[in-house]
Amino acid sequence: MNELLIYSALSLGGVAAGFAVVLYVISQRFKVEEDPRIDEVTQMLPGINCGACGFAGCSGLAEALVEAADSGDVSGLSCPPGGSETMKQIGEYFGFEMGSTHKTIAVLRCGGSCSNAPAKTQYQGPSSCAIAHSLYVGINGCPHSCLWLGDCEIACPFDAIVMNPDTGLPEVIPELCTSCGACVRACPRDLFEIRPRGKGKAERRVWINCRNTQPGGVARKNCKVACIGCGKCVRVCNDIVQAISMENNLAYIDPHKCIACGKCVPVCPTNAIMATFEPPKPKQANKETADTQA
Amino acid sequence: MVTVKTFPMGGVHPPENKLTADSPIQALDLPDEVSILLGQHIGAPAEPVVQKGDKVKVGTLIGEGKAFISANVHSTVSGTVKRVDEALDAAGFRKPAVVIAVEGDEWEVHIDRSPDLVTEITATPEEIVDRIKTAGIVGMGGAAFPTNVKYMVPEGKQVDTLVINGVECEPYLTADHRLMLEHTDEILVGIEVLRKALRVDRAVIGIELNKPDAIEAMTQSAARFPNIEVYGLKVQYPQGAEKQLIKAILDREVPGGKLPLDVGCVVNNVGTALAAYHDIQKNRPLIDRVVTVTGTSLPNRGNFLIRVGTPFARAIEAAGGMADDVAKVIAGGPMMGKAVPDLNVPVTKGTSGILLLTKAEAEQRETVPCIRCSKCVEVCPVGLEPYLLEKLARVEYWEQSDEHDVLDCIECGSCTYICPSNRPLLDYIKLSKVKVHEMRRASAS
């Protein structure tokens, strides 16, 4: 009995020792030296692996940052959800002065709500914007409109997008949005744009709330607040900062040139320009149009 | 007992609902205005060759297909060009189109409008292929693939058989059925024309057994054409799908990602054969087609000969108008057709049917979880696993979808039809196909 115990203990112990030696040799021979800084930088990043930086997850960005720090140039690398604070912390870690990055936010560029662009058809298919977009023009007839099915809401990893049942449109909650860009990728109609949060605590920003490139008459048939490409906003802005450009019947406000004065907002005949603040009162000449809109 | 020819794998048998099988083809009155889309076919849209204010006749060229895969477009009415801009396509998107105000009904002089049958084929094979391109002939079964492209057989490929599709396996549709009954001889001469263009000795026609009168008429007339054989096929959807048809009649399997050409066949619809007859023997380009306008709510439903560009609303009006309980208007048949978002969409060369479903008929049951019954796998005529492809599409695993051959799907809809959980399988598979194509293009560039 005793013998059996001893033999088994010895043979098993021998096998274990043999494996231990093999494993030790392998681990020594094929050792991968990893820069300990990568791990530390990864710890400083938000750890949500959203991919907004362009790398596959936070460790990807960390690796790129370490490499860039060694070469002495970290420009072009940033963490949108983390924002300038995270980058500042990482800069301190490497002993670099990080250029301040704009705080950004996802902005929906469509005003095609249930009331502005009423439904003309019923949709029976699966509740997915991607599928609806591949099937037909959309519930309200505008080929650029939001489809009201909420692929962005599902895609948002921070629950910062909520579909408003009253308008049908998604709403971005500024406090939660990290501008990771998941909604930009999820929207089959490219309605979201990552734009600077804007000046001051009030985050003053102005944008064209439409993506429709059809001629004005056609666009207006489907939606009351479509950009009709009239160019009034362009003319107003040309006297100030030339931030608005017009292409394919659609105006675009360059957020880096825009000073958020809000003067373009009241001149838009279709209310297609949105602002996060109360825009200035229109001049006398425009009073009539403003009245009819109100 | 003789075994009935059919494809060996999968398939379903939805209620046939051929409500208009006994309605003779009737010409629809000319509309006041037609919107002729320049991209009615698969491939690049044609480029307009007319301007606002131009006078056109029936058969005047208005759009030229310049790309390799493209087709010419002709005026289908006589009148004045009102606009060269855009019109709604069947999905509701605005696409380049020529809008013509109708004045009278004057035809181009070179078109032979007499009903006499011209059996002697004087054109050479090269001329036929050339003229098929000029006449803007596309597949009339629904896909609208430019016909001339199928006849440009690449070097090194041998074709021995022309397969003619008279199956019409979609429920409700009877346009091809009526064509085979009323234009039997023209279709057979058309097949001879296509056979000559392809330089083959054998042409076979497949017709589902639910059209015994069409089989009889075609068999009788085909007796005069020694190279044409007629086959009755089992009533099984999708018998009329290109690859399934080849397998059923000739027992040749077209591998995934390959074309019928790779197994020595070219497949054309009976409507295409008739169009070829009109073109080569009568000098008449493709300007109209037979459309089954049907639905239980339509009192005057039937098969209408409609000029391309006529709005759906006109055809529905002629068939008895929209009833109050109509909930869905479908371009094509119920299995593969698409619901249209607007009644002003024009009839195109590929519109085989206009189907009106009432609210009760269009009702969809609630989608519930998959119960792994594998019925979708059983009925898939290609041998795919639709439940898996749907799952992969929902989690956006496009690479795995590609590995599971999602691109071989022929979009027949049998899986969605049979699913007891009412899952939108085909919707997700179609999305997958788009994404896999995008992915492949991205990795190729």
Q: Do A137 and B91 touch (CB under 8 A)?
A: yes
List the pLDDT tens digit at each of the 294 positions of chain A: 688 999 999 999 999 999 999 999 999 888 888 888 888 889 888 888 888 788 888 988 998 888 888 887 777 788 878 877 888 888 888 887 766 566 789 999 999 999 999 999 989 889 999 999 999 999 999 999 999 999 999 999 889 999 999 999 999 999 898 888 899 999 999 999 999 888 777 889 999 999 999 999 999 999 999 999 999 999 999 999 999 999 999 999 999 899 999 999 999 999 999 999 888 876 554 444 444 443
Mean pLDDT by 10 residues, chain B (445 residues): 80 95 95 95 93 96 93 96 92 93 94 92 94 94 90 90 96 96 96 95 95 96 94 95 95 92 95 96 95 96 96 95 93 94 94 95 92 96 96 94 96 96 96 95 89
Closest-CA residue in chain A for B341?
Answer: A121
Q: Tokens representing B109? A: 């002089």
The pLDDT value given to residue A284: 53
DSSP chain A: -HHHHHHHHHHHHHHHHHHHHHHHHHHHHT-----HHHHHHHHHS------TTSSSSHHHHHHHHHHHHHHT--TT---TTTHHHHHHHHHHHHT--PPPPPPEEEEE-----TTTS---S---S-S-HHHHHHHSS-TTS-TTS--SS-HHHHH-TTS-EEE-TTTSSEEE-TTT----SHHHHH-TT--EEEEE--BTTTTB-EEE-----S-HHHHHHH-TT------HHHHHHHTTT--EEEETTEEEE-TTT-----THHHH-TT--EEESS-PPPPPGGGHHHHHHH-
**A130: nearest CB among B91, B367, B431:** B431
Cis peptide before B260 (omega within 30 of 0): no
**A137: nearest CB among B92, B327, B434:** B92
Query: How near does any CA of chain A get to the CA of B93, in Å?
Result: 5
**A135: nearest CB among B91, B94, B364:** B91
Residue with tokens 């959800």: A81
CA atoms within 13 A on the CB side of B380: 22
Q: Which of residues 111-130 of A touch B (CB under 8 A)?
A: 120-122, 124-126, 128, 130
The pLDDT value given to residue A294: 39
**Residue spans per domain, chain B:** 1-29+110-363, 30-102, 375-444
> pTM (2 decimals)?
0.85
At the topology level of CATH, where does B30-102 sit?
OB fold (Dihydrolipoamide Acetyltransferase, E2P) (2.40.50)
Q: Do A121 and B341 touch (CB under 8 A)?
A: yes
**B430: nearest CB among A134, A136, A138:** A134
**B93: nearest CB among A125, A128, A137:** A137
Domain architecture of chain A: domains with CATH? 36-94 (1.10.15), 104-197 (3.30.70.20), 198-294 (3.30.70.20)
Q: Do A218 and B94 touch (CB under 8 A)?
A: yes
Query: How near does any CA of chain A get to the CA of B343, in Å?
Result: 11
- Report yes or no: A135 at the B interface, CB cutoff 8 Å: yes
Q: Which residues of A touch B341 (CB under 8 A)?
A: 120-121, 136-137, 141
Between CA B341 and CA B351 the distance in angstroms is 15
Q: Which residues of A touch B428 (CB under 8 A)?
A: 126, 131
The pLDDT value given to residue B168: 95
Which of B95, B342, B357 to probe the A interface (max A CBs under 10 A)? B342
- Report yes or no: A163 at the B interface, CB cutoff 8 Å: no
Question: Chains A, B: CB contacts under 8 A, how many?
Answer: 48
User: B1-29+110-363 maps to which CATH number?
Assistant: 3.40.50.11540
Q: Do A136 and B341 touch (CB under 8 A)?
A: yes
Helix (H) / strand (E) element for B247: namely helix B242-250
Q: Which residues of B touch A119 (CB under 8 A)?
A: none
Q: Do A125 and B342 touch (CB under 8 A)?
A: no
**A137: nearest CB among B341, B367, B431:** B341
Please report the ipTM that was assigned to this predicted complex. Answer: 0.88
Helix (H) / strand (E) element for B83: namely strand B79-88
Query: How near does any CA of chain A get to the CA of B17, in Å?
Result: 23
The pLDDT value given to residue A287: 46
